[in-house]
Amino acid sequence: MHVHNRSKLGAMLTISVAAALVGCGSGSSTSSSSGGGSGGGGGGALVVAVVSPFTGADAVFGQVVFAGCVPAASLINSGGGVLGHTISCQSVDTHGDAADAVPAVEQLLATTPNLAGMIGPSADEATATVPAINRAQVTMFADTGEAAFDQSQYQYFWRLTPADDQAGYAMAVWAHKSGYTTAAAVFGNDVSAQGSVPTLMSGFEKLGGTIVANVSIAPGQSSYRTEAQTVLAAHPQVIFDEMDPQTSATFFNQLKALNGAMLPAIGADPTLTPDWFTAVSKAIGTPDLIKYVSAENPAADTSGDAWQVFNTALLASSAQVSDPGQYSTQSYTEHEYDAVNIMALAMIKASSVSPAKYNAQIFNVTRPRSGAVVVRNFADGKRALAAGHEIQYVGPGGPVLFDQWHSAASDFTIERWDASGANVTIGTLSPADIATAR
């Protein structure tokens, strides 16, 4: 059993939007050699835009992925930059709403000639914004888990973290391994939360289980007594769930009060955020949270050479990231850190900072193959490329095995909380395990 301090999605809005807008490296300065331009050299900052919610119910997503961009850019810049350019991280707040995201992305594309790549968009707005980003020929490492992108035809779309349908299977498999045969699904009614529900239900049923209730929750309400009564009337052995921290606190508090005891719950990865722990432990008591709640999480390193380089740079980034240590073992932060490094190394491989030219090299700096030098950080990758070597980048997020649709497979960990607010890994699920629920 491995114990570590994993901050799955960071503290909710622990930094202001103004702080999130602070660039790293050379800040938000522009470059005469644009991201959509034709070559390397020329100096100036290239923008990596972090397109995600920084306000609203899903504001946590923006904070956690921005925390990955900052240390990557810092290390790239201290390592001499990319083809004469520094890297700057710039947040673009989508508010977690497609109606707000579309004009925000349109403005970004129209006014940022030095846009070299993108982290995001997230699930809340990806369906609405990915087509426009792809038409603009901007490389994006999306953190959406929507199954609609599992066989993406978008050339500039890449995904390092598992799709929501995989997360749904992971919850189903863990419940089956734990001996549960009846379950209730209680998920927020937003796009992010609902993405894993179909495969959760089909996977659990394939493994012999029965979903006895499927409840969709509107976030931010003062009472969920009716929803809790619906769940209890169905007599589930376990609850599958994904809700924001305050909604979770209200629901589980009322469920426990009505039932006289807490029920076991298996959550999606947002369950492992510090703000979720704070809210729900107050609502149901820390002993019950520790005893009854577990959650799936995309696997990522919490030690090793690649992680040490990442973590050292992250901890030094407090000017841009509030309380950076909370992200030290957060898988989404690690994967988006990897995304910035991968883009930078692909630029060097292509001898161009233009996404239209370097995008195709992403496969070539990540795929395992005979003779490739394994590199675990940007500096080593840059040196190996300069020496004429083929490389395979393996960062703290682990080996990157993109399929033909630009999505990477991943192991999952299953984790619980301990009394100190740290996460305890209690199990691991491989892609082969996930396949049993398909």
Please indicate, yes or no, whether residues 26 and 116 belong to a single structural domain of this protein. yes
Q: What value does the mean pLDDT take over residues 191-215?
A: 95
- Kindly provide the residue ranges of all beta strands, DSSP E only, lying in 40-96, ordered along the sequence: 45-52, 86-93
Task: For 241, list phi and psi in degrees, rounded to 5.
Answer: -155, 155
Residue 400 located in a structural domain: no
CA distance 84 to 382: 13
Residue 409 located in a structural domain: no
Those residues with Cβ within 8 angstroms of residue 291's Cβ, 6 or more apart along the chain or in another chain = 262
**Could you read off the pLDDT of 75-108 as tens digits, one per residue?**
999 999 999 999 999 999 999 999 999 999 999 9
Lowest mean pLDDT among 191-200, 234-243, 364-373: 191-200
Please indicate, yes or no, whether residues 133 and 173 belong to a single structural domain of this protein. no
Q: What value does the mean pLDDT take over residues 30-43?
A: 39
Task: For 338, list phi and psi in degrees, rounded to 5.
Answer: -60, -40
Please indicate, yes or no, whether residues 157 and 284 belong to a single structural domain of this protein. no
What DSSP character marks residue 405? Answer: T
Residue 135 located in a structural domain: yes
Q: For residue 165, which amino acid is it?
A: D
Please indicate, yes or no, whether residues 169 and 157 belong to a single structural domain of this protein. no
Taking residue 17's Cβ as centre, other Cβ atoms within 10 Å add up to 14
CATH number at residue 278: 3.40.50.2300
Name the strand (E) or helix (H) holding 323.
Answer: none
Q: What value does the mean pLDDT take over residues 139-145?
A: 93
Please indicate, yes or no, whether residues 24 and 13 belong to a single structural domain of this protein. yes
Name the strand (E) or helix (H) holding 224.
Answer: none
The token pair at 148 is: 């609609």
pLDDT at 246: 94
Residue 76 located in a structural domain: yes
Name the average pLDDT for the chain: 89
Residue 404 located in a structural domain: no
Q: Is the pLDDT of residue 8 over 50?
A: no
pLDDT at 13: 31
Q: For residue 64, which amino acid is it?
A: V
CA distance 21 to 93: 9
Please indicate, yes or no, whether residues 136 and 276 belong to a single structural domain of this protein. no
What does the radius of gyration of the chain's CA atoms come to, in whole angstroms?
A: 21
Task: Please list, residue by residue across 228-259, b when 16 or more beta carbons sit within 10 angstroms of its beta carbon and e when fewer do.
Answer: beebeebebbbbbbbbbbbbbbbbbbbbbeee
Q: What value does the mean pLDDT take over residues 208-234?
A: 97
Q: What value does the mean pLDDT take over residues 401-419?
A: 91
Q: Is the pLDDT of residue 20 over 50?
A: no
- Contact in structure between 339 and 49 (CB atoms under 8 Å): no
Name the strand (E) or helix (H) holding 424.
Answer: strand 423-429
Q: How many domains does the chain have?
A: 2
- Contact in structure between 330 and 324 (CB atoms under 8 Å): no
What DSSP character marks residue 221? Answer: -
pLDDT at 23: 37
Q: What angle do CA 309, 312, 316 make, to 5 degrees?
A: 140
Residue 334 located in a structural domain: yes
Residue 402 located in a structural domain: no
Please indicate, yes or no, whether residues 168 and 254 belong to a single structural domain of this protein. yes
Q: pTM value?
A: 0.78
User: In which band, very low, low, confident or very high, does the pLDDT at 362 lie, cut at 50, 70 and 90?
Assistant: very high
Please indicate, yes or no, whether residues 143 and 266 belong to a single structural domain of this protein. no
Please indicate, yes or no, whether residues 16 and 117 belong to a single structural domain of this protein. yes
Please indicate, yes or no, whether residues 183 and 252 belong to a single structural domain of this protein. yes
Q: What value does the mean pLDDT take over residues 17-39?
A: 34
Closest CA to 127 of 101, 109, 151: 101
- CA 255 to each of CA 233, 265, 404: distance values in angstroms, whole numbers, following the listed order: 11, 12, 44
Do the bridges between strand 2-4 and strand 423-429 make them parallel or antiparallel, or are there none, so unpaired? Answer: antiparallel
Lowest mean pLDDT among 22-36, 86-100, 320-334: 22-36
Please indicate, yes or no, whether residues 236 and 323 belong to a single structural domain of this protein. no
More confident residue, 387 or 191: 387
CA distance 241 to 267: 5
Residue carrying structure tokens 């006014």: 111
pLDDT at 43: 63
**Could you read off the pLDDT of 386-404 as tens digits, one per residue?**
999 999 999 999 999 999 9
- Kindly provide the residue ranges of all beta strands, DSSP E only, lying in 14-143, ordered along the sequence: 45-52, 86-93, 115-119, 140-141
Q: What value does the mean pLDDT take over residues 44-71?
A: 92
pLDDT at 18: 33
Please indicate, yes or no, whether residues 281 and 424 belong to a single structural domain of this protein. yes
Helix (H, G, I), strand (E, B) or coil at 394: coil
**Could you read off the pLDDT of 204-218 as tens digits, one per residue?**
999 999 999 999 999
pLDDT at 371: 95
User: In which band, very low, low, confident or very high, does the pLDDT at 248 lie, cut at 50, 70 and 90?
Assistant: very high
Strand partners, 374: 392
**Residue numbers of the domain that contains 87:** 2-163+302-393
pLDDT at 1: 36
Please give the distance of CA 327 from its chain centroid, rounded to a whole number. Answer: 12
Taking residue 386's Cβ as centre, other Cβ atoms within 10 Å add up to 9
Name the strand (E) or helix (H) holding 321.
Answer: none
- CA 177 to each of CA 172, 173, 174, 415: distance values in angstroms, whole numbers, following the listed order: 9, 6, 5, 14
Residue 84 located in a structural domain: yes
**Could you read off the pLDDT of 258-270 as tens digits, one per residue?**
999 999 999 998 8
